[in-house]
C-alpha cells in the first residue's frame, strides 16, 4: 500500500486533495440533511457572505504567513480604510467615488507600511505584538473619525450592483462579488507560485538568513508583503462595506482570525515557508459549505465556531501524526534491513 502511494505522481499527493475530499463530504452530509435548502444555486448565492471579503483578507495574510510573520491588524485596517472611503465620499462635496476608493487603497497601503516598517526595524519584537498595538491604533483612529455614527451613503452601483447584484451564467445566478475574487486568484497564483518574486517570498520564509546571504533583499520583501497585505485588507473592507451597506468603526472585527484560519486550512504554516493559493481557494469553498450547512441545521453561531475550531486543529494535527507514523515505519524497516545484513 505504502509503495503504491509513493509511486503516484507528485501532483496527486498534494495537501489540496484532502480539502477536496472534505468539501465533497461536507456537501454530501448537508445536502442529505437539508435537501431542499442546501443546493448548489443557493450556496452560490451565499458565497458573497462567506467567500469574498474574508477571501481578500486571507490572500493578503497568506503572503505574510509564508514569510513566517503574522498580522492581526487586518480587521482594523479594513475598518479604517472603509471609514476613510465613506467619510471622504459623504462629506467631500462632489468628490468622485473612484477618488474615495483610491484614498481607501492608499490608507490600507499606509497601514501596511507602518506595520512593515516597525517589524523590519525592530526584529526583536514579535510581529504579533506590533500588529496587536497597531490594531488598537487603527481601529481607534476609525473611532475618532466616525465616533459612534455609521456612514452609509454610497452610489447605487456600489451597494446594489456590487453588493447584491448577480448575473446569470448557464442558468445560475453568479454574484458579481464572487467574480471579482475569482478574477484575482489566477493572477495571484501565477505571481506567487510561478514568478521569481513570488518564489523569493517562499525562500525568505523558509530560511531568512540563508536567503539574505544568497542575495535576497529580505527587508524589502517584508515591507512589500505588508503593504500588499494592507491593500488586500482594504479591499476586503471594501467588499464587506458593499455587502453591509454602511461603515461603523467595528467593521470586520475578528476577521483577522478568520482570515488566518482560512490560510492555515489551505496549507499555510504560521512558521513560514508554506502556503498555496489553490489550497486557500479550496479552504474558502470548504468554509462556505460548512458554515452555510451548519447555519441551516443549527442556526447557532457558536456551534459554527466550535466546528471551525475542531476542523482547524484536526486538519493541522492529522497530517503531522500521519507523517510521524510514516517516519517510524521507515526507521523500523531500515533497522530490519540492517539486522539482515
Partner 1 sequence: MPERTRKTGALSALFKQREVGLALILVVLFLLVGLRNPAFTTGSNALFILEDTAIMMILALGMLCVLLVGSIDISIAAIMALSTMTAGIIMKQNLNISEVQVMTDGVMGSVTLRESTPLILLILAGMGVGALCGALNGLLIAYGRVLPIVATLGMQYIIYGLSHTISRGQAVYRKDMPDSFINFSRATFLGLNSKIWFMLAVFVVIFIFLTYFRQGRYLYAVGSNRESAAMSGIKSPRTTLLAHIIMGTLAGLAGLLYASRDTKITQDMAMGYEMYVIASCVIGGVSVSGGRGKAVGVLLGALTMGVINNALTMLRLTGNSEFWKKAIQGALILSAVVINVLIQRSKERRVLKDRRI
Binding segment toward partner 1, per CB under 8 A, in 37-45, 118-126, 178-186, 220-228: 118-126
133 counts as binding partner 1 under rule CB under 8 A: yes
Under rule CB under 8 A, residue 322 binds partner 1: no
Which span sits near partner 1 by CB under 8 A: 6-14, 15-23, 103-111, 131-139?
131-139
Closer of 21 and 310 to partner 1 (Cβ) = 310
Smallest separation (angstroms) from partner 1 to the CB of 76:
9
147 vs 194, beta carbon nearer partner 1: 147
List all residues 6 or more positions away from 119 whose beta carbon is below 8 Å from its beta carbon: 69, 125, 127, 130, 222, 226
Cβ distance to partner 1 smaller for residue 162 or 208: 208
**SS3 category, 222:** helix
Options 150, 166, 250, 269; binder of partner 1; rule CB under 8 A: 269
H-only helix segments in the chain? 2-7, 16-33, 40-50, 52-66, 74-91, 97-121, 127-146, 156, 163-164, 176-189, 196-206, 208-213, 218-244, 255-265, 277-297, 301-340
3-state secondary structure of 136: helix
The reply to whether 132 sits near partner 1 by the rule CB under 8 A is yes
Binding window for partner 1 (CB under 8 A); candidates: 163-171, 204-212, 261-269, 275-283: 261-269
118 touching partner 1, by CB under 8 A: yes
From 51, 86, 101, 261, residue interacting with partner 1 (rule: CB under 8 A): 261
Q: Shortest gap between Cβ of 328 and partner 1 (angstroms)?
A: 14
The footprint of partner 1 on this chain (CB under 8 A) covers a number of residues equal to 46
Handedness of CA 20, 277, 216, 122 (dihedral sign): negative
Query: Which candidate, 280, 238, 245, places its Cα nearest to that of 260?
Result: 280
Cα–Cα distance for residue pair 323/332, rounded to 1 Å: 14
Q: Pseudo-torsion of CA 70, 73, 79, 80, nearest 10°?
A: -120
Using CB under 8 A as the criterion, which residues of the chain lie in contact with partner 1 when the complex forms?
Answer: 70, 72, 118, 122, 124-126, 128-130, 132-141, 143-144, 147, 257, 260-261, 264, 269-271, 300, 302-310, 312-313, 316-317, 320-321
Amino acid at each position: 500500500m505504502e509503495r503504491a502511494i509513493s509511486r503516484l505522481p507528485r501532483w496527486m499527493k498534494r495537501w489540496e486533495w484532502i480539502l477536496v475530499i472534505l468539501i465533497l463530504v461536507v456537501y454530501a452530509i448537508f445536502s442529505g440533511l437539508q435537501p431542499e435548502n442546501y443546493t448548489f444555486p443557493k450556496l452560490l448565492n451565499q458565497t458573497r457572505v462567506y467567500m469574498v471579503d474574508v477571501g481578500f483578507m486571507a490572500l493578503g495574510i497568506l503572503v505574510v504567513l509564508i514569510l513566517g510573520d503574522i498580522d492581526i491588524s487586518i480587521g482594523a485596517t479594513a475598518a479604517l480604510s472603509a471609514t476613510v472611503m465613506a467619510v471622504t465620499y459623504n462629506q467631500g462635496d462632489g468628490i468622485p467615488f473612484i477618488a474615495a476608493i483610491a484614498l481607501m487603497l492608499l490608507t490600507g497601503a499606509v497601514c501596511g507600511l507602518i506595520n512593515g516598517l516597525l517589524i523590519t526595524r525592530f526584529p526583536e519584537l514579535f510581529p504579533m505584538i506590533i500588529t496587536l498595538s497597531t490594531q488598537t491604533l487603527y481601529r481607534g483612529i476609525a473611532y475618532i473619525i466616525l465616533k459612534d455614527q455609521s456612514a452609509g451613503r454610497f452610489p447605487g452601483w456600489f451597494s446594489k450592483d456590487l453588493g447584491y447584484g448577480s448575473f446569470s451564467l448557464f442558468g445560475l445566478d453568479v454574484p458579481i462579488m464572487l467574480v471579482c475574487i475569482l478574477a484575482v486568484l489566477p493572477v495571484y497564483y501565477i505571481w506567487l507560485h510561478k514568478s521569481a518574486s513570488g518564489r523569493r517570498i517562499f525562500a525568505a520564509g523558509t530560511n531568512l538568513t540563508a536567503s539574505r546571504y544568497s542575495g535576497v533583499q529580505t527587508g524589502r520583501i517584508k515591507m512589500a508583503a505588508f503593504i500588499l497585505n494592507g491593500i488586500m485588507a482594504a479591499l476586503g473592507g471594501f467588499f464587506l462595506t458593499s455587502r453591509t451597506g454602511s461603515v461603523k468603526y467595528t467593521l470586520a472585527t475578528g476577521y483577522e482570525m478568520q482570515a488566518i484560519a482560512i490560510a492555515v486550512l489551505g496549507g499555510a504554516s504560521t512558521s513560514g515557508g508554506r502556503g498555496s493559493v489553490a489550497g486557500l481557494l479550496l479552504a474558502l469553498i470548504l468554509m462556505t459549505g460548512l458554515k452555510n450547512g451548519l447555519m441551516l441545521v443549527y442556526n447557532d453561531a457558536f456551534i459554527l465556531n466550535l466546528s471551525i475550531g475542531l476542523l482547524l486543529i484536526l486538519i493541522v494535527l492529522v497530517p503531522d501524526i500521519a507523517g510521524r507514523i510514516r517516519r517510524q515505519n521507515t526507521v523500523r524497516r531500515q533497522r530490519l534491513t540492517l539486522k539482515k545484513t
